Amino acid sequence: MNKIIETKQLTKTFYLGDIAVHALRGIDLSVEPGELVAIMGSSGSGKSTLMNLLGCLDQPTSGDYFLDGINVNSLKKDEYAEIRNHKIGFVFQGFNLLPRTSALENVELPLFYDRTLRIKNPKQAAIDALARVSLAERMDHEPNQLSGGEQQRVAIARALVNQPAIILADEPTGNLDSRTSVDVISVFQELNDQGITIVMVTHEPDLIPYAKRVIEMRDGIIRNDYLVEKRRRAKEDLAEMATLQEEV
């Protein structure tokens, strides 16, 4: 089977003056289409560093990275940008939407930088992406008129709009309360059901049952990598929470 992500002995070392910080010490990771991976690990274990490498926002110190069959390490700067544009949808902890810009325009933004023009009608594509996160009716709202959960949905729609090979999310629920977190995860689950591959970093053990596979990191290496046995549906839990709240 074709792997979407394959890394070979990926390392990343930061230099702070004379001090070398080995953020990643050799990551061998492969992700196949349709997976929903949760990366766990204590603070400073290198999760964000890994995500930035996978998202082509940064280059590794050594090792190889194949994204959708392409050896990313051999690419030039502009090609890097193009990979980010075509293959990757990135979701951040802090949403990172453009302020004073409507949801629709935020979602349209990646298409603005797509020079292949493979998506014929950017506006329609953006509306469709917003519909997939159930926010079509809020497309004219600006970020400050949306709740945190809604903002993150817009960010997910933006990550979707380019039909990327994979969605990478670094602590997407880090700024959200637990109910809204489950809500965002339910969006991920739905997209995953539709065949979209997702890798997300999370700190919250509560969210593990919603993933298909868990990777635990410590000190820049993968310590544990296992499939989730007792999987849960976020949507069902949300419904349950709603009825519980009504009873109270």
Ligand X SMILES: Nc1ncnc2c1ncn2[C@@H]1O[C@H](COP(=O)(O)OP(=O)(O)OP(=O)(O)O)[C@@H](O)[C@H]1O
Handedness of CA 67, 96, 211, 163 (dihedral sign): negative
CA 58/CA 65 separation, integer angstroms: 12
28: enclosing H helix or E strand: strand 19-31
Element (H, E) at 170: strand 166-170
Rule CB under 5 A: which residues touch Mg ion? 48
According to the binding rule CB under 6 A, does residue 173 interact with ligand X? Answer: no
Alpha-carbon torsion angle 162, 166, 171, 173, nearest 10: 60
CB of 61 to ligand X, least distance (A): 12
Distance CA 32, CA 1 (A): 8
Per-residue binding string, other proteins, 61-90, x by CB under 8 A, is ----------------xx--xxxxxx---x
From residue 25 to residue 64, the character string flagging contacts with other proteins as x (rule: CB under 8 A) and all else as - is ---------------------------x--x-xx------
- 60 touching ligand X, by CB under 6 A: no
Nearest distance from residue 151's CB to Mg ion, in Å?
19
Please tell me whether residue 162 binds other proteins under the rule CB under 8 A: yes
H-helix or E-strand spanning residue 226: strand 221-227
Residues that bind ligand X (CB under 6 A): 14, 16, 21, 23, 41, 43-49
